Chains A and B, each alone.
Chain A
């Protein structure tokens, strides 16, 4: 899988929007962009994924750059419960895909009350 680059940490105020960036300049045409988050003392959980178009679900929105070399996870109104490590990964689900799903170190998001 192609590599991703994320900031080590970010801070945001409670009840404000948060934009978490991810760079993936070597993304291939069949790579989906996935976001996961890991709350303290828990396993990672799926947040959202997309291919080309922006995506929305009840947890977050995913904005994908037109050239697909970067994406942004948007939490519209952060709460203290959103404090977690957020991981951006790429998944190629082609027939000959490599299933070594590699997570980086992610972005640790701190929410200030």
Chain B
């Protein structure tokens, strides 16, 4: 599993509250990613990071912010959660292998915004 831990695994929150999801890795990988997955949409990239304090937007970044103050942690924050952000969130890291990069995903966080 490339040492990836997502927390929490499940969360239920109310509309308008802030929520932070954490992705922790133990193998010093440079690149980290946050995806969300919804029925009918597949995996969609929210934000990614290419180093400490270096982040960029993905396809669906509106309503989300990220921070990476340490190599091992990549935080995803919903400043004011909305029902449309109910989803399964996956963190991933990439590892160079065989001339290209493999992605390794965490187990996911099921977020419900009521």
Contact = CB atoms under 8 A, between A and B. Distances in A.
A59 interface: no
Nearest to A55: B98
A9 B50 CA distance: 34
Contacts of B56: 99-100
A101 B59 contact: no
Interface string A34-63: 101000001111100101000000000000
Interface in A65-113: 85, 87, 91, 93, 99-106
A51 B99 contact: yes
Q: Interface SS of chain B: helix, strand, loop or mixed?
A: strand
A44 B101 contact: no
B60 to A, nearest CB: 11
Q: How large is the interface on B (under 10, 10 to 19, 20 to 34, 35 or more residues)?
A: 20 to 34
A99 B48 contact: yes
Contacts of A43: 90, 92, 105-108
Interface stretch (B12-20, B35-43, B74-82): B35-43
Interface string B29-62: 0010101000011111100101000001011000
Q: How large is the interface on A (under 10, 10 to 19, 20 to 34, 35 or more residues)?
A: 20 to 34
B104 interface: yes
B70 interface: no
Contacts of B43: 44, 87, 103
B42 A91 contact: no
Nearest to B57: A100
Interface of B: 31, 33, 35, 40-45, 48, 50, 56, 58-59, 90, 92, 94, 96, 98-108
Interface of A: 32, 34, 36, 42-46, 49, 51, 85, 87, 91, 93, 99-106
